[in-house]
Amino acid sequence: NAGVTQTPKFQVLKTGQSMTLQCAQDMNHEYMSWYRQDPGMGLRLIHYSVGAGITDQGEVPNGYNVSRSTTEDFPLRLLSAAPSQTSVYFCASSYRNYGYTFGSGTRLTVV
């Protein structure tokens, strides 16, 4: 099993550009979530999903969109990148009522 795979690992965007961060898991997990982690800070929930076709907002959803068309994939779209979105983004997945498995992260810089 590959676990949770995030691509790309690094990305530099110009202000106003859009892009999609990819996340895939091969563990047949129902739940998937996106977090951002700013330097020296904790993890803040952006969006989450409890199954294919179901998504909901987390603590900091503005400027991001998600979709969950399959159990395996949960892409995160930045609509119009801003410097405030410079962060490390983690995707995570889990079974119901168990701990989350995290991907290795995408380090995003918006200039």
100 binds another protein (CB under 8 A): yes
Rounded to a whole number of angstroms, the minimum distance from the CB of residue 14 to another protein is 26
Q: Which stretch binds another protein (CB under 8 A): 11-19, 31-39, 63-71, 72-80?
A: 31-39
Q: 96: which residues sit within 8 A by CB, 6+ positions away?
A: 30, 31
Tell me what percent of the chain is helix, strand and coil, each rounded to the nearest 5. 5, 50, 45
Chain contacts with another protein (rule: CB under 8 A): 31, 33, 35, 41-45, 48, 50, 56, 58-59, 90, 92, 94-105
